[in-house]
């Protein structure tokens, strides 16, 4: 088992990563100060429940914990006000109080939803992230929790840190190949923005990783989380440097928006976005020649797209880019890479360069 510490001004917690951790959950919760008399409320989705709900529920009850649970439909639509309200009702009915503890068992959807329930129920109760997707190495760390509104994704949310992250890598064995590959996009992002040696390691170990060797998955998650922890520890509420975690996301979000979140997974969209950002980086930083090719090669190894399958209108993508949080009256801001393994928030990017990058990734 590997352990990373997240040290924040108000609160610190640990991220435990390894095989067989769900089986040890009762002991791990007690180690984190949860007592048998504290009611547990587990939130998961219907696909995760098939594999993991019963073993987790049974081992916690057999260890003397009182546990209630709720299963929501899988998918982004569960990050809704309606699901949130229904979960709050279930917590009240189960008699949850300020000492109760929420367990978020699932991917980023469950982590964001259950985390938001925890952040707001009785003004905030303890919760643990129990990630079951590779992408959730990103979403379970850093304390951003949220639900969606019909007019905006993640529009109701909070910065609310878990009491711990307990990451059983064995759960990744049942994840679909597409979801696994999608998670690698964020793993690769963490290397590209912060840690060149991690990028090299990903190249070297791609076969073991795609074959889901638990030792290699543990190491990849540990190294990727370490980057996220380093960034978040410096800027918990995104006043500055935390924005570098959005590398590839500006274009990625535009692709997701233009296709109404139906065509590409988040990882696939940011994979294409990172190719666009790499290309712009090369144009602005002669020191970083070859970045686009190298980025494309690594993403391709992990089965990720480097171009749009079907061209999307450049103007529509530009409209989304204008709505990006980082876009101000003085122009476009992108996270770009002056050298591999480092990025910088770069302002005043000319529109012409962005349009060229969009054409490069297949816009028309």
| Residue among 144 and 190 whose Cβ is closer to ligand NAD | 144
* 173 among annotated binding-site residues: yes
* 174 among annotated binding-site residues: yes
In whole angstroms, how close is the CB of 294 to ligand NAD at the nearest point? 24
In whole angstroms, how close is the CB of 329 to ligand NAD at the nearest point? 28
| Residue among 112 and 195 whose Cβ is closer to ligand NAD | 112
CB contact at 8 A, 224 and 137 = yes
In whole angstroms, how close is the CB of 153 to ligand NAD at the nearest point? 6
| Residue among 120 and 356 whose Cβ is closer to ligand NAD | 120
Q: What angle do CA 136, 139, 140 make, to 5 degrees?
A: 80
Q: Which residue has the tokens 């797209």?
A: 305
CA 333/CA 331 separation, integer angstroms: 7
| Residue among 277 and 288 whose Cβ is closer to ligand NAD | 277
Question: Cβ-closest residue to ligand NAD?
Answer: 108
Looking only at Cα atoms, what is the longest distance across the chain? 63
| Residue among 213 and 356 whose Cβ is closer to ligand NAD | 213
In whole angstroms, how close is the CB of 249 to ligand NAD at the nearest point? 9
CA 306/CA 297 separation, integer angstroms: 9
Q: By CB under 6 A, name the binding residues for ligand NAD.
A: 45, 47-48, 51, 74-76, 79, 106-110, 112, 132-133, 135-136, 138-139, 142, 144, 154, 171, 174-175, 179, 266
In whole angstroms, how close is the CB of 97 to ligand NAD at the nearest point? 26
* 153 among annotated binding-site residues: yes
Which positions make up the binding site? Answer: 108-112, 132-133, 144, 153, 171-174, 186, 249, 266
Known binding-site residues for NAD(+) equal 108-112, 132-133, 144, 153, 171-174
| Binding site per annotation, positions for Zn(2+) | 186, 249, 266
């Amino acid at each position: 088992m590997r352990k990373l510490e997240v040290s924040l001004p108000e609160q610190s917690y640990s991220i435990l990563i390894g095989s067989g951790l769900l089986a040890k959950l009762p002991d791990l919760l007690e180690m984190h100060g949860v007592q048998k008399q504290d009611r547990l409320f587990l939130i998961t989705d219907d696909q995760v429940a098939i594999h993991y709900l019963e073993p987790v529920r049974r081992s916690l009850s057999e260890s003397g914990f009182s546990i209630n649970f709720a299963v929501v439909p899988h998918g982004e639509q569960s990050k809704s006000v309606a699901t949130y309200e229904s979960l709050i009702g279930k917590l009240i009915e189960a008699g949850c109080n300020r000492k109760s503890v929420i367990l978020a068992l699932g991917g980023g959807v469950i982590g964001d939803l259950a985390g938001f329930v925890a952040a707001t129920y009785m003004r905030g109760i303890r919760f643990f992230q129990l990630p079951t997707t590779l992408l959730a190495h990103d979403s379970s760390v850093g304390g951003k929790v949220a639900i969606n509104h019909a007019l905006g994704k993640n529009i109701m949310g909070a910065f609310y840190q878990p009491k711990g992250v307990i990451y059983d890598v064995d759960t990744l064995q049942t994840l679909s190949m597409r979801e696994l590959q999608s998670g690698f996009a964020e793993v690769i992002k963490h290397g590209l923005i912060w840690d060149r040696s991690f990028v090299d390691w990903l190249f070297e170990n791609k076969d073991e990783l795609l074959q889901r060797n638990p030792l290699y998955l543990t190491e990849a998650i540990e190294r990727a989380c370490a980057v996220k922890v380093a960034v978040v520890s410096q800027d918990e509420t995104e006043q500055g440097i935390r924005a570098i975690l959005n590398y590839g996301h500006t274009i990625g979000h535009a692709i997701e928006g233009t296709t109404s979140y139906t065509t590409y997974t988040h990882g696939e969209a940011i994979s294409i976005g990172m190719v666009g950002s790499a290309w712009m980086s090369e144009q602005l930083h002669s020191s970083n020649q070859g970045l686009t090719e190298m980025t494309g090669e690594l993403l391709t190894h992990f089965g990720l797209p480097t171009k749009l399958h079907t061209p999307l209108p450049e103007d529509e993508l530009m409209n989304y880019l204008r709505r990006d949080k980082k876009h101000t009256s003085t122009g476009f801001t992108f996270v770009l890479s002056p050298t591999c393994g480092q990025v910088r928030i770069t302002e005043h990017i000319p529109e012409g360069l962005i349009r060229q990058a969009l054409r490069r990734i297949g816009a028309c």
